[in-house]
Amino acid sequence: MVECEFPECTTFGSVIRFALELEKGAVAVYDEFAKDSKLAAGAETFKALAASHKKRGDLLEYTRREKLNEMIQEPIQDLDARKYIPDLKAPKGADLKAAGKFAAAMEVKSAMFYGDTSQFAKNLLSEAARIMDKMAKENLANKAKMESL
Amino acid sequence: MSALAEVKKDWGKVQNFVNGEWVDSTTKNWLDVKNPATTGTIAKVPLSTKDEMNAAIEAAQEAWWAWRETPPVSRARLMFNLKHIMEREFENVARIISQEQGKTIDDARGETRRCVENIEVASSVTTLQMGYNLEDGAAANIDEEVIISPLGVFGAVCPFNFPGMVPFWFWPYAVATGNTFIVKPSEQVPLTTQYMFKMIEEAGFPPGVVNLVNGREDAVNALFEHKNVRGISFVGSTPVAKWIYKRAGETGKRVQAQGGAKNSLVVMPDAVMDKTVNNMLASFYGCAGQRCLAGSNLIGVGDVAEPLLKKFVEASKKLKVGYGLDESSNMGPVISEAAKKKVLGYIDLGVKEGAKLLLDGRNIKVPGYEKGYFVGPTVFDDVTPDMKIAKEEIFGPVVSFLRMKNLDEAIEFIHSSPFGNAASIYTQNGKWARDFRYRTQCGNIGINVGIVAAMAYFPFAGAKDSFFGSLHGQGQDAVSFYTDRKVVITRWF
């Protein structure tokens, strides 16, 4: 199981850090599923989703590096990030349906996080908000894929 | 959440970079460089001697002509090299800034980005340095043209609050246009500059073109006393900026000297309250109030005063003060024990002057960093224009709240200050915004923006006692500062 450390979300940097942890956790979960021989029927889908979440992490790093400047360093207040922390402890020996259900729940939490933080980001940086909205949509598409397994 | 890892815990002895080589200073005077959050010593910095600065100036002079003859397009390519290296090292630079200066990692990343942006702008030297001509400009068959030429050796004396960005307001433009350069960083924050110079070395600038000399008064005096130094760029306090300006006059050097500030943020009755308050928090408390663009006076106009103050204090209370490398910190420490003492002195003074202390940051304790130079967000109410806390630069997270009847009164108050660095208005009313922009005598005006930090392709400097000189830092102004316009009139028989 991957170790993820989710911060309080009080700054733009900590929101991105939280998102990076979500992506890291998702990559680890899908990688684990892809390697599980019991879940071989879904292996290609899991691999593709692991790669997709890795790419999302790269996009977040890029956003933090390129888009931050002094004018948008406003504090973020009253965002309780604890409710977005997903369960990343993948069930051992699960069948494909159970694995899909687990991953779908993880994608839903992630979609909630991106959906809600995009509202904060809109006030700070519209480019970041657009990226977060896109991430949330992708999460929901991933959820549908997982539920169809 | 644990703090991000420092690039290095202990940086050892800081070196100078002269004529393309890293050299140890021979001085007997060394200072400790401290991490302001932990107060632990993270490096030793030399107070280099006059001879050491003179050696750097001579190396820069020696390198100048060959560099001047290097075509602008080749000089630009070295800037591109540097830009790529800086992107690679981006996060390390930001973490070093946070470690030695104390600012939050988000602040430090923003600062690092501005460094890169200045390199990007300076890379456009083939356009920025282009002259102009007029066929038959002098008379029939006699053409006239202007060539924009470099001048020689320049130096920059830099402050502690932006160890990365401020040197990059200057040296990229000087060097891209064919001058050679010496950076003298603040002795309180020499590590970022040292790291930047490792990148400058890797980028392949020829020896002597960009030099680094650490130090204090002796090094600065040597810059003024050497005949080969053509000009100096400075950022610091107003008294020192005035001194620099005077010395430059006496020694016949070009100068741009940026000084202190006392910036007012004016909130009109129609301001969008939540967004205004959030934006102002970044202005007043970002970099722990140690920005020359930081808000210091908060002016509530008319009926907005009471609800504004209430919301602002509530929001200020929620800010998380902590180590800059903890990504959830909204504000880090001030730079040093002396700086903390000065800020606390002003809070004591405010109380003595009769202002009402609504939020007191004097006794803040940051778990895990109990010894750090932290001052919490502090808000005074009932501040009047005659109080020192409304007039003097505090350079800390202290907000003076003033009530004014109307915009005219607010502008009049802003004009009563000897400083003129920045001022902001929060309103949805175009007429008020236009009036404010038109009438306010400051170098930087914000409209619903609390930190009026010019992008690299715009000039940056204040007005009145916040700036001494004529050409500003960054962009085309910097190019003009570091070059001369040579007129050539041509006639062929």
Under an 8 A CB cutoff, do B106 and A8 touch?
no
Q: What mean pLDDT do residues B311-322 have?
A: 97
In this predicted structure, what is the pLDDT of residue A2? 75
Which residues from chain B sit within 8 angstroms of residue A5, using beta carbons?
1-2
The residue among B316, B328, B451 with the most chain A CBs within 10 A of its CB, best to mutate, is: B328
Look at B281 and A75 and tell me if their CB atoms are within 8 Å: yes
What is the average pLDDT score of chain A?
A: 92
B282 touches chain A (CB under 8 A): yes
**Is B118 part of the contact surface with chain A (CB cutoff 8 Å)?**
no
Name the minimum distance, in Å, from the CA of B105 to any CA of chain A.
Answer: 8
Q: Is A85 on the interface with B (CB under 8 A)?
A: no
ipTM metric = 0.88
Q: What is the pLDDT of residues B454-482, one digit of tens each?
A: 999 999 999 999 999 999 999 999 999 99
Question: What is the predicted pLDDT for the residue at A67?
Answer: 78
pLDDT at A1 over 80: no
Residue B328 contacts A, CB cutoff 8 Å: yes
Q: Which residues contact B85 (CB under 8 A, 6 or more apart)?
A: B199, B202, B203
pLDDT at residue B205 in the model? 98
Using the beta-carbon criterion (under 8 Å), do B286 and A64 form an inter-chain contact?
A: no
Distance CA B112, CA B116 (A): 7
Separation in Å, CA of B119 to nearest CA in chain A: 14
Residue B91 pLDDT: 96
Smallest Cβ–Cβ distance between B106 and the set A9, A66, A68 belongs to A68
Confidence band for A93, pLDDT divided at 50, 70 and 90: confident
Tell if the CB–CB gap between B319 and A14 is shorter than 8 Å: no
Report the 3 state secondary structure along chain B: CCCCCCCCCCCCECCEEECCEEECCCCCCEEEEECCCCCCEEEEEECCCHHHHHHHHHHHHHHHHHHHCCCHHHHHHHHHHHHHHHHHCHHHHHHHHHHHHCCCHHHHHHHHHHHHHHHHHHCCHHHHCCCEEEEEEEECCEEEEEEEEECCEEEEECCCCCCCHHHHHHHHHHHHCCCEEEEECCCCCCHHHHHHHHHHHHHCCCCCCEEECCCCHHHHHHHHHCCCEEEEEEECCHHHHHHHHHHHHHHCCEEEEECCCCEEEEECCCCCHHHHHHHHHHHHHHHHHCCCCCEEEEEEEHHHHHHHHHHHHHHHHCCCECCCCCCCCCECCCCCHHHHHHHHHHHHHHHHHCCEEEECCCCCCCCCCCCCCCCCCEEEECCCCCCHHHHCCCCCCEEEEEEECCHHHHHHHHHHCCEECEEEEECCCHHHHHHHHHHCCCCEEEECCCCCCCCCCCCECCEECCEECCCCECHHHHHHHCEEEEEEEEECC
Q: What is the mean pLDDT of residues B154-162?
A: 98
Of chain B residues 344-403, which have a CB less than 8 A from chain A? none
Q: Which pLDDT does position A64 carry in this prediction?
A: 87
Average pLDDT score, chain B: 97
Q: Which of B105, B113, B282 sits opposite A13 (nearest CB)?
A: B105
CA distance, residue B113 to nearest chain A CA (Å): 7
Q: Does B111 touch chain A (CB under 8 A)?
A: yes
Cβ-Cβ contacts under 8 Å, A7 against chain B: 1, 327-328
Q: Which of B115, B158, B287, B292 is catalytic?
A: B292
So what's the pLDDT on residue B65?
98
> Which positions in chain B touch A11 (Cβ < 8 Å)?
104, 106, 327-330
Cross-chain residue pair B327–A13, CB shorter than 8 Å? yes
Longest dimension (CA), chain A: 51
- Which band of pLDDT confidence, cut at 50, 70 and 90, is reported for residue A38? very high
**Which chain A residue shows the shortest CA-CA distance from B92?**
A65
Share of chain B above pLDDT 90, in %: 100
CB-CB neighbors (< 8 A) of A62 in chain B? none
With CB atoms and an 8 Å threshold, state whether A75 touches B106.
no
pLDDT tens-digit profile of B259-274? 999 999 999 999 999 9
> Dihedral (C-alpha) B61, B62, B68, B69: value to the nearest 10 degrees?
160
Write the residue in A8, A12, A77 that is nearest to B106 by C-beta.
A12
Chain B nearest C-alpha distance from A75 (Å): 6
pLDDT one-digit tens code per residue, B420-462: 999 999 999 999 999 999 999 999 999 999 999 999 999 999 9
Q: Which residues from chain B sit within 8 angstroms of residue A66, using beta carbons?
A: 113
Inform me whether the pLDDT recorded for B316 exceeds 70: yes
Residue B45 pLDDT > 90: yes
A8/B329 CB distance under 8 A = no
> Are B79 and B125 in contact, with CB atoms under 8 Å apart?
yes
Q: Please say if B292 is a catalytic residue.
A: yes
**The pLDDT of residue B420:** 98
| Whether A10 and B330 lie within 8 Å, measured CB to CB | yes
pLDDT (0 to 100) of residue B367: 96
Select from B126, B49, B417, B32 the least CA-distant residue to B262.
Answer: B417
* pLDDT tens digits along A49-85: 999 999 999 999 998 888 776 656 789 888 899 999 9
B1/A64 CB distance under 8 A: no
Could A13 and B104 be called an inter-chain contact, meaning their C-beta atoms sit closer than 8 Å? yes
Q: How far apart are the first and last CA of chain A?
A: 22
CA distance B104 to chain A (A): 9
pLDDT over 80 at B349, yes or no: yes
In this model, does residue A123 exceed pLDDT 90?
no
- The span from the CA of A14 to the CA of B50, in Å, is 45
Chain A, nearest residue to B277 by Cα:
A74
Mean pLDDT of B208-212: 98
Whether the CB of B156 is below 8 Å from some CB of chain A: the reply is no
Say if the Cβ atoms of B282 and A10 lie within 8 Å.
no
Instruction: Let me know if B437 is exposed, middle or buried by CB neighbors in 10 A (0-12, 13-18, 19+).
Output: middle
pLDDT at site A73: 78
A126 near B CB under 8 A = no
CB contact under 8 A, A69 and B105: no
Closest A-chain CA to B452 = A71
What tokens appear for B37 in the block?
């959050």
Buried b (16+ CB within 10 A) or exposed e, B414-431: beebebbbbbbbbbeeee
